[in-house]
Structure 1
Amino acid sequence: MPLNYTDSELKLSLKSSSVLIVDDQLLSVIVLKRILAEHFNIITANSGEEAIEVCKINAPDIILLDITMGGMSGIEMCLKLKTTPESQDIPVIFVTSFENQETACWEAGAVDFVKKPINPETLFRRVRAHITIKLQQDLLSQKVYFDDLTKVFNRRYFDAHFKKVELSALREKSDYALLLIDIDYFKQYNDIYGHIQGDNALRLVAQTLTNSLQRPSDFVARYGGEEFIVVLPNTSSEGALCVAEKLKKNIIDLGILHKYSEFNFLTVSIGGSTLQPHRNNKSTLDLADKKLYKAKDLGRNQVCF
């Protein structure tokens, strides 16, 4: 069955989509905003360097990019975006009067090329078309990468995106944390309360973990069965420990009764690790797994780093 939005869903998604305009000429920015502001959320940057920072904080759905700017050129910026895992999928349209640079724009990774002077209708329709394609791709990714039961990311998403987080941390010499989370005595919970209640508990735990995270870059994935994994980019051991303790508390605060558990309620054990202290040693995932087993050995409802 083909994946598609209803007309109303597509219009709503298009209206909330963000367009980043990158140009160091104020008049050009004003013209582009007048054409597109009625249809999309507009963000602006007056240099390639500023635009790169914008993309790190809040990635737009599409970028309109001039070729010639002070500092980093549009071609250089596009090449940098396309070689950075976090931004490589953002479509880029060059808007320029330099027709002789069109081949270079395609080779840099652009999805389209609009010549100045701009035809407003052409620009709007091309931007809308490329955002629609991106929305369809996002919808397909949601079908592929989300766990149907818990509505969080699945193992496939973790496998695909964790490597990007690690490469980014190594490149920027920053840190990241992994939290491997296991629901305590979950088999016994299913045996006592039944699988329907077990599924409900999994949903509640997944939603609580998601709601407990504060940053858009943090994410939860169902790692398998009753195990979840939380990825925290740009996070030290101290920061990750604080997050882990918060997650543990928020789960027991759900008050899900569990007669088999000595805590009387559903709890979780958490094992954590970060990149920097162990980058020349074992993988962070292996270390988090070992710490999780230690948390269980210590009596469960524990956090171990």
Structure 2
Amino acid sequence: MPLSQLNDNAELDLSQSKILVVDDQPINIQTIYNILSEEYVVLAATSGEEAIEVLKDNLPDLILLDVFLPNKARNELCQCVKQRLELGNIPIIFVISMHQPEEEDACWQGGGIDFITKPISPLTLKNRVKSHLTLKFQTDMLQKLVFIDGLTGVFNRRYFDIHLNKQENKSIRCRNDTAILMIDIDYFKLFNDHYSHIKGDEALKTVAELIRSALLRPLDFVCRYGGEEFVVVLPDTNIFGALKVAERIRKSIYNKKIVHVCSPHHFVTVSIGASTFLESIDEKHHPVEEADRYLYEAKKAGRNQVYCPVEHFYKTSRKQDETNTIKSI
């Protein structure tokens, strides 16, 4: 139940919730699958490493974790969930044997919020899972009120400001780069003046959704930075990956063909500047400031472009709509 998929009229429908079951014994996974699969989407992993890989592509709403998983693998998985800011609110329920004190202690030390015992009671499992999913759903709804932009439905500036520093620290600590894309709608004031603010709001919502749809990984996110400007955060992404995502966003909006008679491009377009934390070429400026400066370089160069630094500046021009290539300048 991602925040971005919740709406103001959301009802308590848990049927699409994802449950990740982590157990090194396939028979145990099958048992839980048989109990829960009619009501939820059940994912599976037989090791901590495999579970971490699953988390990169599918954000579950709850994790069922076997306490007998090797300590190192179990601890690494729990730390991954707690440290990654996007995963911090995923509840972990441990599966343990019959009330062994050391196992119960391992649950609480590992960050679990509850545990169930083997042999598993289907009714108990269903009720525990439903209870914690309901609580998570309600928590997500409260976060929506605080962190979601009311017009576009994407994250707001407050969410960006709170989470950016955590993401920066993680990138520096783990040496996994994070990319920043600053995106601005070209000639948007002219669009509002010509078509009305109501049409302008519709265009903002469409652009926001196109940006969000262009982000293919669950950990990537977009925020409305202010007015007609958006910012995209791409964890574990270098500048070359940022270029690919930025160009995908630019082309998606250009190809939508939202008519804009006041633009020399005839349609609504965006300009994009990009930078990363580890590959920033200007230590005097924060990567967000650097991305913002390259955004304006793209605007000065004619708009409907991506401008990014990598040893040299790279620019993707509107003239390359058919070829989708990146040209060094």
Are the structure 2 counterparts of residues 296 and 255 from structure 1 closer, same or farther at C-alpha, using a change threshold of 3 Å? same
Distance across 1 between alignment mates of 2:23 and 2:229: 46
Give the residue type in structure 2 aligned to 1:293. Y
Distance across 2 between alignment mates of 1:279 and 1:289: 14
Higher helix share: 1
Partner of 2:318: none
Question: Alpha-carbon deviation of 1:123?
Answer: 1.8
Partner of 2:306: 303
Partner of 1:109: 111
Moved more, 191-200 or 205-214: 205-214
User: Where does structure 1 lack aligned partners over 5 or more consecutive residues?
Assistant: none
8 Å Cα contact 1:78/1:109 also seen in 2: yes
Pick the aligned partner of 1:146 from 145, 148, 154. 148
Are the structure 2 counterparts of residues 148 and 62 from structure 1 closer, same or farther at C-alpha, using a change threshold of 3 Å? same
Question: Alpha-carbon deviation of 1:5?
Answer: 10
Pick the aligned partner of 2:196 from 174, 194, 197. 194
Q: What is the 5 A alignment of 1:126-275?
A: 126-275=128-277
Give the match's secondary structure for 1:128: helix
Pick the aligned partner of 1:284 from 283, 287, 294. 287
Moved more, 217-226 or 81-90: 81-90
Question: Alpha-carbon deviation of 1:144?
Answer: 2.4
Give the residue type in structure 2 aligned to 1:291. Y
Give the residue type in structure 1 aligned to 2:107. C
| Superposition CA RMSD, Å | 2.8
Partner of 2:49: 49
8 Å Cα contact 1:210/1:219 also seen in 2: yes
Are the structure 2 counterparts of residues 78 and 204 from structure 1 closer, same or farther at C-alpha, using a change threshold of 3 Å? closer
Percent identity over the alignment?
48
Could you report, residue by residue, the CA deviation over 1:78-115 in whole angstroms, capped at 9, with x for unpaired residues? 34532343432211111112521223322322111222
Give the residue type in structure 2 aligned to 1:99. Q
1:100 aligns with 2:97: no
Distance across 2 between alignment mates of 1:246 and 1:48: 33
The list of structure 1 runs, each at least 4 consecutive aligned residues, that deviate by more than 4 angstroms after superposition, is none
Are the structure 2 counterparts of residues 206 and 85 from structure 1 closer, same or farther at C-alpha, using a change threshold of 3 Å? closer
Give the residue type in structure 2 aligned to 1:298. A
User: Where does structure 2 lack aligned partners over 5 or more consecutive residues?
Assistant: 1-5, 309-329
Distance across 2 between alignment mates of 1:264 and 1:82: 47
8 Å Cα contact 2:239/2:279 also seen in 1: no
Moved more, 280-289 or 209-218: 209-218
Question: Alpha-carbon deviation of 1:291?
Answer: 0.9
Partner of 1:120: 122
TM-score normalised to structure 1 length? 0.86
Question: Alpha-carbon deviation of 1:130?
Answer: 0.5
Could you report, residue by residue, the CA deviation over 1:174-210 in whole angstroms, capped at 9, with x for unpaired residues? 2222111112222222222221121122122222222
Say how many residue pairs are matched: 300
Question: Alpha-carbon deviation of 1:73?
Answer: 5.6
Moved more, 193-202 or 252-261: 252-261
8 Å Cα contact 1:176/1:236 also seen in 2: yes
